[in-house]
């Protein structure tokens, strides 16, 4: 089947799956299920690229559901691969899940896309699997083990690793308490610079340093829509669920856990006091 050929192409690419991933397919020759009366309906998004949490909608054939004046769920069929199949990405904003919006987006893609579709989800994500089945997708297969393929690139410059990341914060004391007391980063150096009127705090996270510059009056970060430049910081944790519980105990709320569609890794986001998105992933 053509979706199995897409799985073969996917496994040959530079991908990594740390957990089993389920693959679901849909053929254009098979009519999608009927939508129940009163169910949510998805519409074309007319070239818009809405952002849900810290996830920006990729380009492709897009269908979305709007509520309260904004897009709260979307599904995108990306450009076709060598086998002629379009991979599907689905996202629903926190607070709007479980209302059938993702199913409505998948059904709209099935009605409007004349190419086979391939949708991947983590094997233990029962809700996503049931959503795909309810939209008329069928089980194609399972990626059971980690798959790694290195891409050959041109000779790299002699960069060995990332040395540090610098962040400007509006309230030095508040951000210091967040990164040191709440997140537990260790202080390497802390200096006041009278010539510039700011504080510089160097923190340690593994082998990388995080520099905080306390500069009152700095312009606020532009997040919605996102501006060019640094998008977010990502930290690796051994147990994502335990990390989410530990952050909650410190009064730090995380978005619902989801799976990276390309790596198969579980991840979630929260924000620092100035709204900088921070990611944790296994």
pLDDT on residue 222: 76
Task: Please say whether the beta carbons of 64 and 43 come within 8 A.
Answer: yes
Which residue in 107, 74, 109, 108 sits closest to 93, CA to CA? 74
pLDDT at 3 over 80: no
* Structural domains of the chain in order of their starting residue, each with its CATH number: 17-143 (3.40.630.30), 161-219 (3.10.180.10), 229-282 (3.10.180.10)
Q: What percent of the chain has pLDDT over 70?
A: 90
pLDDT on residue 18: 66
For the segment 60-88, the average pLDDT, to the nearest whole number, is: 91
pLDDT on residue 155: 62
Least confident residue range of 68-82, 147-161, 249-263 = 147-161
Say how far apart CA 204 and CA 9 lie, in whole Å: 40
Q: Taking CA 163 as the corner, what is the angle to CA 247 and CA 158, rounded to the nearest 5 degrees?
A: 140
Helices (H), the chain: 2-12, 101-112, 126-134, 172-176, 240-249
pLDDT band at 116 (very low <50, low <70, confident <90, very high): very high
pLDDT band at 61 (very low <50, low <70, confident <90, very high): very high
pLDDT higher for 34 or 3? 34
pLDDT on residue 271: 93
Strands 266-271 and 277-281: antiparallel
pLDDT on residue 126: 86
Least confident residue range of 110-124, 179-193, 222-236 = 222-236
For the segment 230-250, the average pLDDT, to the nearest whole number, is: 92
pLDDT at 86 over 90: yes
Longest CA span, the chain: 71
pLDDT at 125 over 80: yes
For the segment 1-13, the average pLDDT, to the nearest whole number, is: 71
Provide the CA 204 distance to its chain's centre, in angstroms.
25
pLDDT band at 209 (very low <50, low <70, confident <90, very high): very high
pLDDT at 115 over 80: yes
Say how far apart CA 245 and CA 254 lie, in whole Å: 9
Task: For residue 141, give the 3-state DSSP assignment.
Answer: strand
The pTM (predicted TM-score) of the whole model is 0.55
pLDDT at 14 over 70: no
pLDDT on residue 265: 85
pLDDT at 23 over 70: yes
pLDDT on residue 13: 65
For the segment 116-123, the average pLDDT, to the nearest whole number, is: 90
Residue 85 burial (CB < 10 Å; 0-12/13-18/19+)? buried
pLDDT on residue 49: 75
For the segment 225-254, the average pLDDT, to the nearest whole number, is: 90
Average pLDDT of the residues of the chain: 86
């Amino acid at each position: 089947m053509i979706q199995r050929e897409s799985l073969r192409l996917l496994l040959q690419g530079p991908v990594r799956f740390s957990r089993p991933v389920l693959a679901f397919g849909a053929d254009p020759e098979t009519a999608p299920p009927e939508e129940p009366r009163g169910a949510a309906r998805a519409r074309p998004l007319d070239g818009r690229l809405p952002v849900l949490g810290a996830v920006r909608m990729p380009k492709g054939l897009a269908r979305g559901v709007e509520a309260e004046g904004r897009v709260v769920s979307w599904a995108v069929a990306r450009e076709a691969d060598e086998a002629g199949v379009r991979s599907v990405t689905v996202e629903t904003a926190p607070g709007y899940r479980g209302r059938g919006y993702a199913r409505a987006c998948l059904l709209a893609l099935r009605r409007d896309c004349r190419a086979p579709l391939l949708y991947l989800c983590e094997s233990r994500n029962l809700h996503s699997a049931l959503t795909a089945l309810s939209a008329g997708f069928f089980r194609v297969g399972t990626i059971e083990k980690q798959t790694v393929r290195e891409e050959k690139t041109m000779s790299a410059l002699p960069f060995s690793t990332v040395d540090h990341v610098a962040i400007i914060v509006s309230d030095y004391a508040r951000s210091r308490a967040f990164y040191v007391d709440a997140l537990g980063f260790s202080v390497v150096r802390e200096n006041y610079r009278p010539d510039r009127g700011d504080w510089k705090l160097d923190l340690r996270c593994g082998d990388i340093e995080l520099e905080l510059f306390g500069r009152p009056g700095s312009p606020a970060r532009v997040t919605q829509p996102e501006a060019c430049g640094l998008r977010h910081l990502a930290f690796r944790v051994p147990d994502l669920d335990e990390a989410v519980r530990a952050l909650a105990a410190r009064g730090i709320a995380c978005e619902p856990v989801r799976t990276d569609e390309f790596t198969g890794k579980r991840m979630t986001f929260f924000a620092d006091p100035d709204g900088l998105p921070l990611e944790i992933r296994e």
